[in-house]
Each structure stands twice: as C-alpha cells, then as structure tokens.
Amino acid sequence: MRIKKSDFVTSAVKKNQYPIDNRAEIAFVGRSNVGKSSIINALTNRNKLAKVSQTPGKTRLINFFIINDDFYLVDLPGYGYAKVSKSEKESWGKTIETYLTSREQLKRVVLLVDSRHKPTGDDILMYKWIKHFGYDVIIVATKSDKLSRNELKKNEKIIKETLELTSEDKLYFFSSVSKDGRDQLIDNLFLEFATDID
C-alpha cells in the first residue's frame, strides 16, 4: 500500500479526548530515545509530522495521526527515561495503561527497540504486558543503519532471545535514515487495516 496522506488529528491524555470514530488504530510504543518520531516521519514520508526532540521523554501525550483517511497511527509516550520525576513517570505510565487497556479500536501494537542494544527490562515488561492483553504485536528494531550485516545478525539473535520470541513473532529491522525496506514495512504493519490499497 502507499501512504498518500497523513495528518495529525489530536493529542490526548484522557479517554474523552480520543477520536470518537471507529477507525482501526495501530499504536507505536518504545523507550524515549528509540526513534519513535523518526520512524513515524520516515514511514509517512513527512519530515515534521511527529515532532523529533533532542530531549528524550518529551512526548507526554498520546498523539493520533490519521493515515489515508482510513486508520490511525497512534504515538504513545516513551518510557524508561531516567531524568524525570517519579510522579511524572507514574503519570505517563497511567496514560499509556489507560489507552492500552480500554481502547477497542486498537488492533495492533508496534514495539520499537534499539537494534544496537539488548532490550532493556522496560522493553521486556512492555512486550509481556502487550502479549498478556492479547494484542497483535510486531517488533521493529530501529537505527539498523548503524550496524554492519554481521552485527545485525548477532543482535537479531540477542533481541529474539531476550524477549523470548517464538517463530510466529514478527521482528523487522529498519533505519529511518536510509529508509531501506520502507514499503515492505508499511505493508507488514498497515496493509490489513487499509481499505484503499494502492
């Protein structure tokens, strides 16, 4: 499929601020510095759709973007950033939890991990939590342009072992810089939720 149109719709903290239509939603979640905004911009081919910050942990709201007037890509607040207060962390956690446990329109969760590093304890908890609630989950390892082919193979094994992935679990590597495999990744993440396929 081709992403012909992508627009920011709204930011939300509470349930009554979510969009009220029944379009399917695919949520992106990951650590604060995993490159979530960059991958959203790369997939939609819009440099400033999602705001890229030099300060990890800046996204504190749930951001809804409508794709092809068809379904929503949902950007969740990043987790695991140390330089915020405990109460702030709890607030963000509650925001994420409320969305993930109460949103019928949510059809898939894309968990982003850094391809260069072993998944953190927070990544493992998030993955297990998503699986526990029965969501379809896809893992995308970001920043793959920073690794050699041998390193990619080695880190793929580490990620699979750390998250205890099965052969049925889907793991993709992607670089927001090179955008190699962009069209294939778009199909893997979004195709089944698109009604207008080109």
Question: Per residue of the chain (198 residues), what is the pLDDT tens digit?
Answer: 999 999 999 999 889 999 999 899 999 999 988 989 999 999 999 988 987 655 544 557 899 999 999 999 999 988 876 555 566 656 667 788 889 888 999 999 999 999 999 999 999 999 998 998 889 999 999 999 999 999 999 999 999 999 999 988 999 999 999 998 899 999 999 998 887 656
Q: What is the pLDDT of residue 118?
A: 97
Task: Give which of 172, 171, 180, 170 is closest to 145, Cα–Cα.
Answer: 180
Q: What is the pLDDT of residue 171?
A: 97
Q: Say if CB 143 and CB 114 are below 8 A apart.
A: yes
Q: How many whole angstroms from its chain centre is CA 64? A: 12
- What residues have CB less than 8 Å from 180, skipping those under 6 apart? 145, 174
pLDDT number for residue 60: 74
Q: What's the pLDDT score for residue 79?
A: 81
- Separation between Cα atoms, residue 39 and residue 179, nearest integer Å: 9
Does the pTM exceed 0.85?
yes
What is the distance between the alpha carbons of residues 26 and 58, in angstroms, rounded to a whole number?
A: 21
Ordered by start, the domain boundaries in the chain are 6-193
**Secondary structure (DSSP) of 130-164:** HHHTT-EEEEEEE-GGGS-HHHHHHHHHHHHHHHT
- CATH classification of 6-193 is 3.40.50.300, yes or no? yes
Take residue 68 and report the two structure tokens written for it. 């092809």
Q: Identify the pLDDT of residue 102.
A: 83
Residue 197 has what pLDDT? 58
**Between helices 149-163 and 121-132, what is the axis angle to 10°?**
60
What is the reported pLDDT for 179? Answer: 93
